[in-house]
Chains A and B, each alone.
Chain A
Amino acid sequence: MATVVKPPGAPAVKTGKLRAWFYKRFPIEEFISDQLVGYFAPKNFNFWYFFGVLSVVALALQLFTGIFLTMFYKPGEATSFDSVEYIMREVDWGWLIRYLHSTGASAFFVIVYLHMYRALLYGSYKTPRELLWVIGMLVYLTLMAEAFLGYVLPWGNMSYWAAQVIVNLFGTIPGIGPGLVEWIRGDYGIADATLNRFFALHVVAVPLGLLLLVLLHLVALRRTGSSNPDGIEIKERLGPDGKPLDGIPFHPYYTVKDTVGVGVFFVLLAIVVFFVPTLGGYFLEHANFEQADPFSTPPEITPSWYFTPYYAILRAVPNQRLGALLLLLAVLAYLFLPWLDRSPVKSMRYRGWLSRAFLALFTVSFLGLMYAGLNPPQGVYVMIGRICTVGYFLYFVLMPFYTNPRFDRVKPVPERLRYHAHH
């Protein structure tokens, strides 16, 4: 039976008997009409607006490839490393599943960082999207935990020493620190017990948490509607049919547009997976091709690239406890953005040069921290790490001042979206 989905305003879908049977027993029709066709999104989404959908794609990719890896991986000090090589060499197509998972992890962070940056560009965290932003930050924190746990599982030498360093960070907590570290490890050093519980967390507990948080994130989005590059609330200008004048139905316009985005993502993913899966040691570190060795520290212990900005902040101060505290503050700082930002205007397009300058400072600092964190804490990298730490925190700490319209000369915000037809 043919079904024609007409643009909104047209009569409801034509249904066959089987479809009607389902519709009576399950709210599919309402879902399509309310959440897809009936969900109006701003029509001026640009490049930065692909990354929400791509985040979901990346999550699905990791879940799917991860489940298959779990079918062959054997957690345990004596078996983990060998089982990964077993997957790479002896399981039919195991190498592809493994590379998809390792590349997918890095891809996930590229996507998530670009997704978060969009919010900084267009004020997507401002009213009424504060909760949406907070939930998103919880997704980010959970994702970082998931990535850390997963990285330990191959039980390579970097896995071992990264676990050592990060778990030791908890020892800086006053009073309960040392006991806490032993409790996390389940042993006197990073050992089999640690590996096994990290496996359970990485495969079951944290993914469930991630799924729940992503669902909450989407539910919150549905209530507030999406932001847009002009920072205008499209719901404030409704047409005679009650639909936003500057909105278009998510389906089919954004389903179709996002398909292109997904295609481009897979092209880039495939290029890495098939031609440069280690990406010169950034996606699969060299030291991790050696088994964990408690007696041999790799010449440079660096975490994966997506953690290095915070690692650089940790190393910026010579005091371990203070460094750990700064790291924690750096990661939590994002949570406060909706309340630090005092600008009456959402989008950078209409803010003054002061706001833009500080965003540029943050961008350069974040990238500089990432660069410094990837290198040994010597020479010029120390200097870069320290300067960029200052730049990073200034973005947050001074925000109430430089976003104040008394200092930041904002431009008038248009009433309707700026949109140029895509022909």
Chain B
Amino acid sequence: MLIIDSPSESRAERAPVSGWRRAAVLLLVATIVPCAVLAEEAAKEPAASAFGADWESWHPGNSVADIASLQRGARDFLAYCNGCHALKYERYARLGQDLSIPPDLLQKDLVPSGRKASDYITTPMPPADAEAWFGKPPPDLSLIARSRGTDYLYQYLMTFYVDPTRPTGTNNLRLDATAMPAVLSSLEGLKRAVFKNVQTRGDSGVVTQRVFDHFEMLAPGQLNHDEYAGMVRDIVNFLDYVGEPQQAHRRALGVWVVLFLLVFTWLAWLLKKEYWKDVS
């Protein structure tokens, strides 16, 4: 059941800053250029199958009790997200323990070389550089599931679309003008957002608004829609876990605590009835 299969970019290549500068620049170029090219092409092509009108009701449907999902999410997070985002409150060792990853596998595949399993999960991205490249440093994601919610995170990762007006070449429905590039586009593929004009009656007469209508795929990625959605669900699930690692234990313990307290209250109630026989 254990799925630890590092993608092509192994831990050993996480070396000094200069390597990262190159990687980040390449990443940006890799995202922008195809977007620009495809946007032009899309203007000429007929519309692909439409979807996504109901994006605001998309839920990840994740369960932190699903260890396999958490393992996949951990693997994918460390592969695709950790380059910019830290999880500064979580230790690799804790991850290994909670997700049933054996220590040697953890050390080999997930812990960067030269680091200890007891270290916190930091990011190699230097914050000063990040601010220069993206405008603001990519936030730490330890608590993002608690502050924004899993629905938000799922919808965020599922609604990137091509937008030539943005410096990253993409935009996002959940967070308009997001500074984050569509780093998963090689897996998801590229899609564009089709907007429509909607007229509404406002206080000062009729108002025309530009409203999202549907998505259209422009180019396929390595994964189909369901596979990609599953991957996003796993990553969101993992972030849900990182937000509060002990939550499964909390709920399990709670059952016993409540049962015990119910027994106590019942006994106290019998005692009360017994004593109150005296009172007329």
Assuming the contacts A275-B251, A290-B147, asked whether A260 and B257 have C-beta atoms less than 8 A apart, the reply is no
- For A85, give the chain B residue with the smallest CB separation: B89
* A85 to B251 alpha-carbon distance, docked (Å): 19
- C-alpha gap A262/B271 in the complex (Å): 14
| Residues of A72-101 contacting chain B, CB below 8 A | 82, 85, 88-89, 95-96
Interface string of A242-282 (1 = CB under 8 A from B): 00000010001100110110111011001101110110000
Please tell me the number of chain A residues within 8 Å of chain B, measured between CB atoms.
36
How long is the Cα–Cα vector from A423 to B272 in the complex, in angstroms?
10
Give the complex CA separation of A421 and B278 in angstroms.
9
What residues on B are CB-neighbors of A277 within 8 Å?
Answer: 250
Check if B245 is an interface residue, CB within 8 A of chain A: yes
User: Given A286-B146, A286-B147: A422 and B273 within 8 A (CB)?
Assistant: yes
Residue of B nearest to A99 (CB): B250
Interchain CA distance A286-B150 in the complex, whole Å: 12
Report how far A206 CA is from B54 CA in the complex, Å.
Answer: 51
Q: When the two chains form their complex, are residues B89 and A257 in contact, meaning their CB atoms are under 8 A apart?
A: no
Asked if A289 meets B254 with Cβ closer than 8 Å, knowing A253-B276, A260-B269, A263-B268, the reply is no
| Alpha-carbon separation in the docked complex, A256 to B257 (Å) | 22
Q: Which residues of B contact A351 (CB under 8 A)?
A: none
Please tell me if the beta carbons of B147 and A95 are within 8 angstroms of each other in the complex: no
Determine the residue in chain B with the shortest Cβ distance to A420: B280
Q: Is A376 an interface residue (CB 8 A)?
A: no
CB distance from B87 to the nearest CB of A (A): 11
The answer to whether B262 has its CB under 8 Å from any CB of chain A is: yes
Instruction: Name the CB-closest residue of B to A273.
Output: B254
B1 interface residue (CB < 8 Å to A): no
Q: Which parts of B138-187 form the interface with A (CB within 8 Å)?
A: 142-143, 146-149
The answer on a CB contact under 8 Å between B261 and A266 is: yes
Q: Kindly list chain B residues whose C-beta atoms are within 8 Å of the C-beta of A262.
A: 268
Which of B146, B245, B251 is the one whose CB lies under 8 Å from A274?
Answer: B251
Q: Are B258 and A271 in contact, with the CB atoms below 8 A?
A: yes
Is B265 touching A260 in the complex (CB atoms < 8 A)?
yes
Interface flag for B279 (CB, 8 Å): yes
B244 an interface residue at 8 Å Cβ cutoff?
yes
Q: State the Cβ distance, A416 to closest chain B Cβ, in Å.
A: 12
Given A274-B250, A275-B251, A422-B273, A263 and B261 contact (CB-CB distance below 8 Å): yes
Taking the nearest CB of chain B, how far is it from the CB of A76, in angstroms? 17
What are the interface flags for A105-136 relative to B under an 8 Å C-beta threshold, 1 for contact and 0 otherwise? 00000000000000000000000000000000
Task: Report chain A residues within 8 Å CB of B253.
Answer: 274
Known: A266-B261, A286-B147. A274 touches B254 (CB 8 A): yes
| Best-surrounded residue of B147, B243, B245, B262 (most CB of chain A within 10 A) | B147
Contacting pair A253 B268 (CB below 8 A): no
Which residues of chain B have a CB within 8 Å of any CB of chain A?
89-90, 94, 142-143, 146-149, 243-246, 250-251, 253-255, 257-258, 261-262, 264-265, 268-269, 271-273, 275-280
Additional 10 contacts, C-beta under 8 A, given A263-B268, A289-B146: A85-B89, A89-B246, A95-B250, A96-B250, A259-B268, A266-B265, A274-B257, A289-B147, A421-B280, A422-B273
